[in-house]
Structure formats: C-alpha cells, structure tokens
Amino acid sequence: MPVINLQVSGQENPDLAKELVQTISSLTKDILNKKPEVTVITVSFIPDYLWFINSKSLAELKKNSFFLTIKISDSTNLKDDKAKFIEALHNALASILGSLHPVSYAAIEEMKADAYGYEGLTIEYKIINNKISKV
C-alpha cells in the first residue's frame, strides 16, 4: 500500500510520467510514512482538449491540471500529515507541470484494514500476524 492513481492533462509522455512517479513516491514515503516497496502508482494522460473546468477546456485556458487519488489504510495518518501531503503534492506537481490550474485535485481515500490488501491478505490480517510474530 498505498495505491495511487494519477490523471494528468496533456499528451502521453513516459519521461514526465517517470518524474511524476518519483516525486509522488518520495512525498508518500516522506510525509505519509508509506513503504515504497508496496506503493503502486498508475499514470494516465488525458488530452487537454478533453479536460474541462467550468465548461472550458484546459487547451482553451492554456493550463495544465491533475487529479490524484491515493488509497491508504484508515487511521494511519493524522489530519496534519494529510494536509501537508496535499499541499506538498500540489506544489511539486505545479513545479513539474507548470501553468497549473488551481482546480487540480488530490483525494486521500482511507480504506478499512479488513477490506483492503495485497498478496491475497487483508491489511488487518497482516497487522495482526505481524504483532503475533513479534511475540
């Protein structure tokens, strides 16, 4: 965990995608204390002429934008951590993308530990199993 989906305005660009992923992964580790080895990030590019804010395309507005969702385990971060992550993310992506429209969103979705997992195991199971193995 976590699972991150990033939508970015513009044409597909593998080099830009790699830079965005490295930046997001670093922020996720440093601010939200998430392990990079279990962080998944997907990047989708949406042409600026198909991205609309207030019925005007980003192509018309001559702006860039992003929409990021990140799924993390419920109650694993404080409100301050989440606020810092959203602010740092916005600032970092504004720096990378340039001419960023202020209506660029980040959403942190907190998932219950018994309803989320990887390796076929829930996070709740992993937490309990980890505590038992330390005894």
- What domains appear along the chain, each with residue ranges and CATH number? 3-134 (3.30.429.10)
Grade residue 135 by pLDDT with cuts at 50, 70 and 90.
low
pLDDT digits (tens, 9 = 90+) for 72-113: 999 899 999 999 999 999 999 999 999 999 999 999 999 998
Three-class HEC string of the chain: CCEEEEEEECCCCHHHHHHHHHHHHHHHHHHHCCCHHHCEEEEEEECHHHCEECCEEHHHHCCECEEEEEEEECCCCCHHHHHHHHHHHHHHHHHHHCCECCCCEEEEEEECHHHCEECCEEHHHHHHHHHHHHC
**Is the pTM for the entire model greater than 0.95?**
no
